[in-house]
């Protein structure tokens, strides 16, 4: 059992950075949902805010790591142009484009994934900022708390589209 | 004897403080960043010349320029909107509404089903 350097990078991009981001969503969403001033004591609020701050900051960092490692490390390997007569198994984009049964994985799947992925870190950073800088205000202002929760969900939705498509594309044409 | 740390937080409505406006500005800026990604993606698809302009780093292709432009627009919008929100009264609910319209448009316009309508490549 062994992994090439490329496979290791792709694993970190998709399963470590991206996977942990997606797993952390529900913890952050639950903590945000429960961040209501009417149901928390001052000490309870402090504890909840500390957890939320670490969770949202971690998620923002993971979202940036996922997007940057995806675009600037894995994507160049994906789109590398094969020399004439090369084995397309080592050139995922060319492999997908060459097969009419698979080419939508590139023209729909990768084309959406590579762009929508950048929405996640932007949205996650706004959430982390709101929680870090103005967390106690979110506990008092329901409207604001729900807006931040919705932005947190938007980051998750963008990452889910990107991550889901990435997993399916990797199944059809893995980076080797 | 009850201490202040165990008392319930006052959850009554708060006025539009600088804190509230700052969060609203951050959310709208994020929406603008998402929409910017959608717009540059669609423009790049619509015109080969735009795609070539955005090709800042050859191994990544036009995606390098699209990401850079979207992130730059997001950060500039954040700075400007924060200043605007601090300097004058704003309708926070409208700002929040606008933020999510922008995010939804951003998700839509990064989808090939949308931007392929404008494709010339």
Angle between helices A119-140 and A19-33 (to 10 degrees): 20
The answer to whether residues B25 and B91 touch, using CB atoms and an 8 Å cutoff, is: no
- Which chain A residue shows the shortest CA-CA distance from B23? A130
- Which residues in A lie closer than 8 A to residue B33 (C-beta atoms)? 119, 122
Domain boundaries, chain B: 32-118
Q: Please report, in angstroms and rounded to a whole number, the separation of the first and last CA atoms in chain A.
A: 14
pLDDT digits over A10-32, tens only?
999 999 999 999 999 999 999 99
Which residues of chain A neighbour B111 with C-beta distances below 8 Å?
112, 116
**Chain A / chain B CB contacts < 8 angstroms:** 141
DSSP string for residues in B19-82: HHHHHHHHHHHHHHHHHHHHHHHHHHHH-HHHHHHT--BTTTBHHHHHHHHHHHHHHHHHHHHH
pLDDT at res. A1: 73
Looking at the predicted structure, is the pLDDT value of residue B5 above 60? no
Is the ipTM, as predicted for this complex, more than 0.90? yes
A119 chain-B contacts, CB cut-off 8 A: 33-34, 37, 103, 106-107, 110
Nearest CA to A35 among A109, A139, A175?
A: A139
Contacts of B96 in chain A (CB under 8 A): 143-144, 147
Question: Exposed (0-12), middle (13-18) or buried (19+): which is B81, by Cβ within 10 Å?
Answer: buried
Subunit contact A154:B103, Cβ cutoff 8 A: yes
Could you tell me which chain A residue has the CA closest to the CA of B114?
A: A112
Q: Is the pLDDT of residue B86 over 80?
A: yes
Q: Which two tokens stand for residue A147?
A: 């807006």
A56-90: pLDDT as tens digits: 999 999 999 999 999 999 999 999 999 999 999 99
What's the alpha-carbon Rg for chain A, to the nearest Å? Answer: 19
Task: For residue A43, give both structure tokens.
Answer: 């000490």
Query: Are A150 and B100 a contacting pair at CB < 8 A?
Result: yes
The pLDDT tens digits of the residues spanning B7-64 come to 555 545 445 899 999 999 999 999 999 999 999 999 999 999 999 999 999 999 999 9
Residue A97, pLDDT > 90, answer yes
- pLDDT-derived band at A2 (thresholds 50, 70, 90) equals confident
**Per the structure block, which two tokens stand in for B67?**
């990401």
B24 to A144: CB separation less than 8 angstroms, yes or no: yes
Tokens for A29, please give them. 């969403």
Mean pLDDT of chain B: 90
Comparing CA positions, the residue from A2, A4, A18, A17 lying closest to residue A77 is A4
């Amino acid at each position: 059992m062994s992994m090439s350097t490329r496979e290791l990078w792709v694993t970190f991009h998709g399963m470590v950075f991206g996977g942990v981001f997606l797993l952390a969503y529900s913890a952050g969403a639950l903590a945000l949902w429960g961040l209501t001033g009417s149901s928390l004591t001052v000490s309870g609020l402090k504890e909840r805010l500390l957890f939320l701050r670490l969770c949202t900051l971690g998620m923002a960092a993971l979202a940036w790591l996922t997007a940057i490692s995806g675009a600037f490390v894995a994507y160049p390997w994906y789109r590398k142009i094969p020399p004439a007569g090369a084995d397309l198994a080592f050139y995922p984009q060319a492999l997908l484009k060459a097969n009419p049964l698979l080419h939508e994985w590139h023209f729909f799947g990768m084309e959406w994934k590579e762009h929508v992925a950048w929405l996640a870190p932007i949205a996650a950073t706004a959430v982390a900022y709101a929680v870090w800088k103005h967390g106690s205000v979110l506990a008092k202002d329901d409207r604001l708390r729900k807006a931040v929760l919705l932005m947190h969900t938007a980051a998750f939705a963008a990452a889910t589209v990107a991550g889901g498509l990435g997993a399916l594309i990797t199944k059809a044409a893995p980076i080797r | 004897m009850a201490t202040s740390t165990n008392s319930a937080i006052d959850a009554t409505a708060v006025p539009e403080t600088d804190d509230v406006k700052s969060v609203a500005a951050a959310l709208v800026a994020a929406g603008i960043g998402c929409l910017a990604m959608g717009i540059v993606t669609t423009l790049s698809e619509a015109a080969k010349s735009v795609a070539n302009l955005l090709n800042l780093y050859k191994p990544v292709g036009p995606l390098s320029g699209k990401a850079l432009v979207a992130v730059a627009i997001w950060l500039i919008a954040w700075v400007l909107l924060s200043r605007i929100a601090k300097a004058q009264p704003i309708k926070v609910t409208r700002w929040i509404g606008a933020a999510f319209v922008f995010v939804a448009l951003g998700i839509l316009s990064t989808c090939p089903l949308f931007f392929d309508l404008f494709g010339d490549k």
